[in-house]
Amino acid sequence: MDANQHATAAGARTDGAARPDGAHAGAIVHPSAIVDAGATLGAGTRVWHFAHVCGGARIGARCSLGQNVFVGNDVVIGDGVKIQNNVSVYDAVTLEDEVFCGPSMVFTNVYNPRAGIVRKDAYRRTLVRRGASIGANATIVCGVTVGRWAFVGAGAVVKADVPDFALVAGVPARQLGWISRFGERLPLPRSGDAEARCPHTGERYVLAGGTCTLLPDPAPDQP
């Protein structure tokens, strides 16, 4: 296959096995997926059945794009991102490293769409910061930032920025509390000043002025 051609089902293997795609050395593209010429896929990235990646997309290494995932042109996806089945990552969406997008969650890019009015110049950008998780069937209304290691519960509708390490859920999404990098609830109040450890890893978090921060590991004892 010409390196500048799509990795389309046409001429692809029919045994359903994933295969390395010549245009994206190091990535694995299922024969039923379409990766338009110009897209970049990092090493170890896997693109599963019936996915479509547009030519302007920039996708990092070790990502997984599940069945029926769509990635637009004006999209940047970092390393180690997992996008579950049936997710469309539309233009003006950026996903940093290690973001998790649950099955059938929804991004948007036009705030007030009308079929008869072109609003391609009015896209509102969405940024999902490093390590954040978005639960199944959640909807991110465009123009927001989901903070680092934040967690959006299944079915939530996010209309406002989500702070780093915040756990939000519901329609509209409200903050339930705080969550660690490991994905465990942190015993912290929603506001005020406090400290807590992740029950699983022991990592230390401090809440101050409405901001939750992961404290660096203490320096090892000097010999």
Site residues, ligand COA (CB under 6 A): 102, 135-136, 153-156, 169-170, 176, 185
- For ligand COA, give the closer residue by CB, 155 or 187: 155
d(CA 115, CA 192): 46
- Listed in sequence order, the residues at least 6 apart from 50 whose beta carbon sits closer than 8 Å to its beta carbon are 30, 32, 33, 67, 68
CB of 92 to ligand COA, least distance (A): 24
Q: How many CB atoms lie within 10 A of CB 3?
A: 10
d(CA 168, CA 179): 10
Lookup: tokens for 3? 């390196």
- Residue written as token pair 């929804």: 106
Sign of CA dihedral 45, 101, 75, 213: negative
- Listed in sequence order, the residues at least 6 apart from 164 whose beta carbon sits closer than 8 Å to its beta carbon are 129, 147, 148, 149, 150, 211, 212, 213
CB of 144 to ligand COA, least distance (A): 18
Query: Is residue 70 classed as helix, strand or coil in its secondary structure?
Result: strand
CB of 169 to ligand COA, least distance (A): 4
- For ligand COA, give the closer residue by CB, 16 or 172: 172
- For ligand COA, give the closer residue by CB, 72 or 135: 135
CA angle 73, 102, 199 (to 5 degrees): 130
What does the radius of gyration of the chain's CA atoms come to, in whole angstroms?
19
CB of 54 to ligand COA, least distance (A): 25
- For ligand COA, give the closer residue by CB, 40 or 139: 139
- For ligand COA, give the closer residue by CB, 51 or 168: 168
CB of 132 to ligand COA, least distance (A): 13
CB of 209 to ligand COA, least distance (A): 23
- Listed in sequence order, the residues at least 6 apart from 9 whose beta carbon sits closer than 8 Å to its beta carbon are 31, 32, 34
- For ligand COA, give the closer residue by CB, 94 or 180: 180
Strand partners, 97: none
